[in-house]
Structure 1
């Protein structure tokens, strides 16, 4: 019986390690960097993810969060891009760069942020809200600028099969070999070990209530989704088409930040979507 339990323990640990849940590192808000890579091609779910992330930024616990966002970090997928620069300006202010229109400059700005974090003894946590081609370019640029790092210092978190499939094979292999690459379960489903942040019944229009902290952000996000969802060959996000929400990429953020009490869309908004009087 003893050996049976030992064998089961080993199997469980291998399973957890494979799925990325055996993480022995923790995000340290006083020195680590959260790098948010948004592909915005061709699904509008990134738009809702950004709006949901704004609620985290507005919470007291994460007001000092060190982050940097990049738009247009898409891989090899076909289809049209979803322009969302106004939303990026609203949420991220000066803490973002546009890789869709200026990829090289975005790479330079990103490695500058990364270098400062590494120099100060921090780690870099990458949210792959899309593919890993841009991440591979960042890693290559770090090497070209002689910025050294260990695998443990750059942690990449991915949640979607499709994102991996639409990353070039060489880029995905390079990222996996040169970073602490963590694969977590899909954020579109509940009950699989990560939150389920895709719900067509939770009306996104209600998030525009002017009494709520991120009302203007959600109004802008919904306008972008209405304009681009399923248009000109873009992916038709069913939840958003139905008036619901899809911020499935945010599961990578909640995983990195250790937010463990928001397993559903409703639970997330209960925790973070405060009124202006509750701020």
Structure 2
């Protein structure tokens, strides 16, 4: 019998350069997810900060490892920008409920503003890895647009693809926005569900969102868990918050058993 997993998708509104505040808020959400007996909590890309202030990345990675072990919950802490000599990398980690790092992924397909600053994983293969939730693969943000990345992970046995993201409505070109101001939201809603149907997999998508109760802006939000047959589960709007969903892995053909 296939297991059922409880997944918390956390849609944060990060404050620019306020690393400690952003981390504290993330920890609060993860503790709330653990109190609801979630198996996995996923944060957005750049939830701590973007390119600056990344020299202390190890401090925050260690903190998330300790938190995972304390709360007995698997955590993907969005992405953490790391500095290695003169190189900056944007990395997602899968931390098990024992606090062990079971997998990591460095963003391959960089968005235009990132290219002058970040180093891509370039031709490194996409690799699936074993977790307490079965075989998992990770992508980051714009990687979503490349179906071959999914195919490589699926070929490696992944049934769950986790995608921390920082994707806004303003990422579209001016010409595209003139046609449809919501075109980026349309892309996300269409592509996320299409990918899970194409690959018979679950897609866990955690995006950044706007301030709770704030003015409508360019935040896309739409964090969700997408599965075949049902589509988007627990889909959020554009505001900060958390969505908790239960997924019976039988919907993926019963191939999602834990290790």
Please report the TM-score for the alignment, with normalisation by the length of structure 2. 0.35
The higher radius of gyration belongs to 1
Q: In proportion to residue count, which structure has more helix?
A: 1
Q: In proportion to residue count, which structure has more strand?
A: 2
